Amino acid sequence: MQVVQTIPALRAALAQARAAGRTIGFVPTMGCLHAGHLALLTRARQEATFNVVSIFVNPTQFGPNEDFSRYPRTFEADRTACESAGADLIFAPTPADFYPQGAATWVDVEGLSTGLCGEFRPGHFRGVATVVAMLFNAVQADVAVFGQKDLQQLAVIRRMVRDLHFPVRIIAHETIRESNGVAMSSRNRYLAAEDLQRATAIPAALAEARRLVAAGETEAARIRDAALACLTKEPALRPQYVAVVDQETMAPVTQVTPGRCALA
């Protein structure tokens, strides 16, 4: 497995892979890898024959009072995990490598970026879309794999790929969960054991929404209210939003279409 830091070194390695007839898979990450990330890599290896994992804590997607400085950075463990999982190359630039003259050019996916998480993290999805566009330009992958945990991010990236005609196929992978049902996340390490237990109200709310849909419920308001009731049973949780949305547009819906809608 190779590790490169600069875009010229990345492109040179990828040129050799393509010359050997390899197809390129890509899994972008911010590091602090867990089983969810490795599941994305496993899926990429099913789709492509040379697979790149990027590890880059992107400063432009963090707000002024967010956790950029303390976001966990575990590169040596990440390198070991990637090698064990079959990655062919790690691209690990520094902010100085990636933004040598600062950030002045942005990709802003309007509409999709403003509600839900975007309401509480202004500028976040602009930073995400911009860095993913830069990574796509650098890697020129045939396929890229993203998790469904960050559903709004996935929708933003899919729209960006469509609007800007990036020649990459986007694959969405199901959310990988802890044994208690909580979605795996690098930020889970911020939580104490009792907080992780309280967070089980979230998968319980999702399960209740699924149960109602399976039973034939189509009224989005009823599904939302039932999920919110599950969350409010845990007084320590303070949901910023609960909504039933279209997975492509992230717009709220009034009627649920199974397979097209999601609880956010």
Coil, helix or strand at residue 205: helix
Q: Is 37 a catalytic residue?
A: yes
Residue 86 CA to residue 91 CA, distance in Å, equals: 14
Catalytic residue among 37, 124, 165, 173: 37
Question: Alpha-carbon distance 56 to 91, whole Å?
Answer: 8
The residue count of the chain comes to 264
Strand partners of residue 55: 29
Q: What's the burial of 167, exposed, middle or buried (CB within 10 Å: 0-12/13-18/19+)? A: exposed
**Which H/E stretch holds residue 51?**
strand 50-55
Beta-carbon neighbour count of residue 113 at 10 Å?
27
Chain Cα centroid distance, residue 211: 26
> What is the spatial distance between Cα 201 and Cα 190, in angstroms, rounded to a whole number?
18
**Cα–Cα distance list, 240 to 121, 132, 202, 224, 264 (Å):** 11, 26, 13, 13, 10
Tokens describing residue 29: 């990450």
Q: Please check whether residue 73 is in contact with residue 32, taking contact to mean a CB–CB distance below 8 angstroms.
A: yes
User: Known catalytic residues?
Assistant: 37
